[in-house]
Copies of this chain bind each other. A is one copy, B any other.
C-alpha cells in the first residue's frame, strides 16, 4: 500500500546519553540506563520517541506510560539501594532529547543536600561494581 505520509522519524539514543551511561533494558516505552557516575545510584529513563524534548509534548498515553515506568524504576531503585530520598527530574538543558533522571540519594553522599548536576566531579565505577548493579536491576525488573 502506498502512502503520501513520510515515515515517522526513527528514535536513536542521543550520543551524549549513550556515552554517559550503560544500558539496562527496554521497558514498553523507555530505555533504562545507568549513569556511569558512581557517586550515586543514578538511573536515566529515555522514552523511545523521536524529536520529543518535553514531557508535556508526549501524547497522553505515552505520558501516562512514562509515569508508570518512573514509578516502577523508582520503586526498584529505592528497594535495591535503601536510599533516603529519590530525586526525579527532566532537565534537558544540555541534551534536549527527553530523558528523566531518577537518582537515589543518601544523606551521606558526595553532594547531599545539593542536586547532583555539576555538584562534584563524576567518579568511575569499578567494572565489577557496575556489572553487579546492572544485573541486580535486570533481575528485579525482570529483563
Docked pose: A43 CA to B122 CA in angstroms: 30
Cβ contacts A54-67/B at 8 Å (1 or 0 each): 11100000011001
Partner of A85, one of B53, B64, B70, B89: B53
A113 at the interface (CB under 8 A from B): yes
Whether the pair A87, B93 counts as a contact (CB closer than 8 A) is yes
Give the complex CA separation of A38 and B86 in angstroms: 27
**A3 CA to B143 CA in the complex, in Å?**
46
Residue of B nearest to A54 (CB): B86
In the complex, what residues of B have CB within 8 A of residue A105's CB?
Answer: 93
In the complex, how many angstroms separate the beta carbon of A84 from the nearest chain B beta carbon? 9
Q: How far is the CA of A63 from the CA of B68 in the complex (A)?
A: 9
A41-93 CB contacts (< 8 Å) to partner B: 53-56, 63-64, 67, 70-71, 74-75, 78, 85-93
